[in-house]
């Protein structure tokens, strides 16, 4: 019986580790280096509003050249956001009417130092609302923070 419990624990542990790796997709771009896509991460405010944020990083020789972040929100009038002490102007891409709720999709270029903050306890601030990393995403973001980001430099 102890062996069965051990094997079940081992299988879930291995599956959990590999599922973290699937959170980041990489694409070879020839002379333009590698493009990494980090699948959406959810941030949530105190009043349960959610932001779904994803990242695209262009990297040449382990050096980050550009980071673009896109996010979805039910707020369709966002003009800027704050990460730490940095203010970013955001651009609305489109409104999504495919679900019961209407979501607006936004984009902005992100500095590497602020990108690193997105995986810590630093909130995203929009119109005085603070959005923190949703608890269920902390394990996935720890993998990014501890294994992916340290291999990059700016």
Q: How many CA atoms lie within 13 A of 54 on its CB side?
A: 13
pLDDT tens digits, 68-124: 999 999 988 999 999 999 999 999 999 988 778 889 999 999 999 999 999 988 899
Question: In this structure, what token pair is assigned to residue 54?
Answer: 């994803």
Per residue in 32-59, pLDDT tens? 899 999 999 999 998 999 999 999 999 9
C-beta atoms surrounding 46 within 10 Å: 9
- Is the separation of the CB atoms in 99 and 130 below 8 Å? no
| Nearest partner of 70 among 97, 32, 96, 39, judged by Cα | 39
Tell me the per-residue pLDDT of 119-152, one tens digit each, with 9 for 90 and over: 988 899 999 899 999 988 988 888 899 999 999 8
3-state helix, strand, coil in the chain (%, to 5): 30, 45, 25
Do 20 and 8 form a contact (C-beta atoms < 8 A)?
no
Integer Cα distance of 120 and 124 in angstroms = 11
């Amino acid at each position: 019986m102890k062996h069965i419990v051990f094997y079940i624990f081992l299988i879930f542990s291995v599956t959990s580790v590999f599922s973290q790796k699937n959170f980041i997709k990489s694409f070879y771009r020839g002379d333009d280096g590698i493009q990494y896509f980090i699948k959406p991460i959810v941030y949530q405010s105190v009043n349960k509003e959610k932001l779904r944020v994803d990242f695209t990083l262009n990297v040449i020789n382990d050096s980050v050249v550009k980071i673009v972040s896109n996010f979805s929100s039910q707020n369709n009038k966002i003009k800027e956001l704050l990460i730490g002490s940095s203010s970013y102007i955001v651009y609305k891409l489109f409104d999504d009417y495919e679900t019961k709720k209407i979501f607006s999709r936004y984009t902005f270029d992100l500095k590497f130092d602020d990108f690193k903050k997105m995986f810590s306890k630093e909130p995203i601030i929009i119109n005085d609302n603070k959005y923190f990393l949703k608890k269920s995403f902390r394990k996935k973001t720890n993998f990014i923070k501890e294994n992916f980001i340290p291999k990059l430099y700016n």
